[in-house]
């Protein structure tokens, strides 16, 4: 059964909430507030594509972080399949962090 725009938006919001529960092991801030999530797309069939980056290509969780994102988002009832794509374009900088994250880390 296909979802309408409002349902897809709600699933998107639920995904963001889930992403806020995943933390970078080196920085005590969640990956959403850090600005590591570049894009979240939800299809009417409940397929999800997440475009994200890591704080650096040599990040110790380069393998496990995308898998954790995929597993946690996949636990949502409305979600069918999850694809997580890692990109380093544009390169992550601390300027991509939310004001909340900057405040928490003492950058403001």
Residue partners of 101: CB distance under 8 A and separation at least 6: 29, 33, 34, 35
pTM more than 0.85 = yes
CATH number for the domain spanning 38: value is: 3.30.300.130
pLDDT digits over 43-88, tens only?
999 999 999 999 888 878 888 999 999 999 999 999 999 999 999 9
Token duo for residue 62: 């380069």
What residue numbers bound the domain in which 20 lies? 5-104
pLDDT digits over 10-28, tens only?
999 999 999 999 998 888 8
Number of domains in the chain: 1
How high does pLDDT run on average in the chain?
A: 93
- pLDDT at residue number 108: 79
- pLDDT at residue number 28: 87
């Amino acid at each position: 059964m296909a979802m309408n725009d409002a349902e897809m938006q709600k699933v998107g919001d639920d995904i963001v909430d889930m992403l806020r529960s995943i933390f970078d092991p080196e920085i005590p801030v969640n990956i959403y507030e850090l600005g590591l999530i570049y894009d979240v797309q939800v299809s009417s069939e409940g397929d999800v594509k997440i475009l994200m980056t890591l704080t650096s290509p040599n990040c110790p969780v380069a393998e496990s972080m995308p898998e954790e994102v995929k597993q946690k988002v996949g636990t949502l009832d409305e979600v069918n399949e999850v694809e997580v794509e890692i990109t380093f374009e544009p390169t992550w900088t601390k300027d991509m962090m939310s004001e909340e994250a900057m405040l928490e880390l003492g950058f403001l």
